[in-house]
Chain A
């Protein structure tokens, strides 16, 4: 993305959610009703089941990482004047980011800019109530580095009565610090720490990136695809056959797209680039191998160099009989970023969650890697909707 596209971070509370196209919401409800009535004979170009899943290499070519796009550059652009100031009005900056940032915006930024990173204690240490933490922090803050980065404040606590000691000690150490310090925190964790320890009394007002609305998302994803070498790729919607990047007058500036797909994707992903990136990659399909379907598609895509088909993601459904426990698990994982099974047992009200975690994994809500359970970024929209509908305390960007 060009430097002119970089947008400065804004205070949290100013985040503008991309709107969902009205007709898209109506169409979705109409499709659900038809499906419920058993009348699912909508005219579509090709069903998702007839298409092949794209190879990972192909996906990496048309939608390469990092999933956070220009957000890291925007962070540097926002902070550069403050970082250069030898006597700023405030030494602390709080960056609040939506969850599921697996790629690590702040960690990457700190590494690329050569800033020191303060590592969080292990989860076992968090529950030990170790009083020596204050001494260790004092040593860390008296170091030589000019800029200190604490990339994930959510790694400094565990939601347990014994799990807040390190967080409180960290906040005490930050209070009165005279060194540039950038603290990152996921938005769900930020809502929790404000309630649990009153973190907003010590840390400044948080800031976050500007949402990726339809034009911005379309330009970013189109830019990723066009940067791929080889034959140009056309991305067609599997229901309508429309080119999802094409605009009415083929121009880019302020032009209306002919397909609503990007508007829907921007709204569905709440303007979060890494969520949109994961959903986008999951939605890409290759043409079918069988001749019958291929012939009719070839007619439509006769002028395309190469065609990839964009399907709508499957709707994720929570386990019916254990919906309450499933939501408690998802809420806990969003707050902490990732948890092991034993850590989940410490933060949940009851221990009968093993089979529910398995069900959530099977249904695509969570993933398990190295024993740690995380929310699947592409599932975040469904998770957020379910938690909001059930009345759970939510994040606020």
Chain B
């Protein structure tokens, strides 16, 4: 008697096979896959074609579209396959919990972290982030992991679940620009006011400078000399390395013209 009742319950968990429209399921899955593929391919291309100020919006739309498509596809197919009742929901939840607990714990953790990341936005496509030792541009935000391309052109996959216990340092947080810092180390015997003024002019006359953001030159004394930090913003964050290089090249000339001597050569010579 109990076995018969259990069998009947199991049968009612799933709809009858003849009632399941497999064609519809295949169409929904294929359609969802095509839409996601199109968004993954098309939006990054469009992001490079549209005006610069719209680029990050196009890149940021891809993970949102993917989640929406997934939710719609799941919501569409589940009622086709399963007999949705409260009791069946409890049975499925119980089975899923066991599976997740033993075999898919980390995968599920990354999936949930990915979902949370879409709302909390610790990173989004187009952002430059530092996660542990890796700094690079977020190329895509997948279901389980993000892909970062570093300045050395390496592509790194970072699982979402790192956000639970690690700091995510985001340099631009969705903005079109980020702060760039050019460091200089000078021996102490120089006119700091003149060098500071010259370095400020170096930043103000850069071809890459964003006018709406401030320029700062900070300095502090270290045991090896005076450490200058030129802080400024490029108008396009993709130019950050060209901008820092430009500041460094012209900054070195400015320092030499004002009688400054760089500390690094003397330090390395003294350690030989």
Contacts and interface: CB of A to CB of B under 8 A. Distances in A.
Contacts of A160: 205
A195 B232 CA distance: 12
Given A349-B242, A393-B235, A159 B208 contact: no
B53 A391 contact: yes
Contact of A332 (B176, B198, B207, B254): B207
B209 A393 contact: yes
A390 B236 contact: yes
Nearest to B236: A391
Given A390-B52, A393-B235, A159 B205 contact: yes
A interface, size bucket: 20 to 34
A191 B235 contact: no
A191 B211 contact: yes
A163 B52 CA distance: 30
A161 B205 contact: yes
Contacts of B198: 161
Contacts of B183: none
A33 B52 CA distance: 22
Given A349-B206, A390-B52, A391-B176, A161 B250 contact: yes
Given A161-B254, A163-B205, A331-B207, A391 B52 contact: yes
Interface in B219-244: 235-236, 242
A29 interface: no
A192 B209 CA distance: 10
Given A348-B207, A349-B207, A392 B202 contact: no
Contacts of A388: 51
B207 A393 contact: no
Contacts of B235: 391-393
A113 interface: no
Given A161-B198, A161-B254, A389 B51 contact: yes
A191 B249 CA distance: 25
A347 interface: yes
Contacts of A161: 198, 201-202, 205, 250, 254
Contacts of A348: 207
A316 interface: no
Contacts of A390: 51-52, 236
Given A161-B254, A349-B242, A393 B210 contact: yes
Contacts of A163: 205
A103 interface: no
A164 interface: yes
B205 A196 contact: yes
Nearest to B243: A349
A148 B214 CA distance: 34
A164 B201 contact: yes
B204 interface: yes
B19 interface: no
Contacts of A389: 50-52
Given A161-B254, A390-B52, A393-B235, A349 B211 contact: no
Contacts of B173: none
Given A164-B201, A392-B235, A393-B235, A195 B206 contact: no
A296 B228 CA distance: 74
Contacts of A222: none
Of B201, B208, B212, B249, the most chain A CB neighbours within 10 A belong to B201
A388 B211 CA distance: 14
7 contacts: A191-B211, A196-B204, A331-B207, A347-B207, A391-B176, A393-B211, A393-B212
Given A390-B236, A393-B209, 5 more contacts: A161-B198, A161-B205, A194-B211, A195-B211, A390-B51
Return the 10 tightest CB-CB contacts between A and B, nearest first: A391-B52, A161-B201, A393-B211, A389-B51, A349-B246, A195-B211, A196-B204, A391-B236, A159-B205, A161-B202
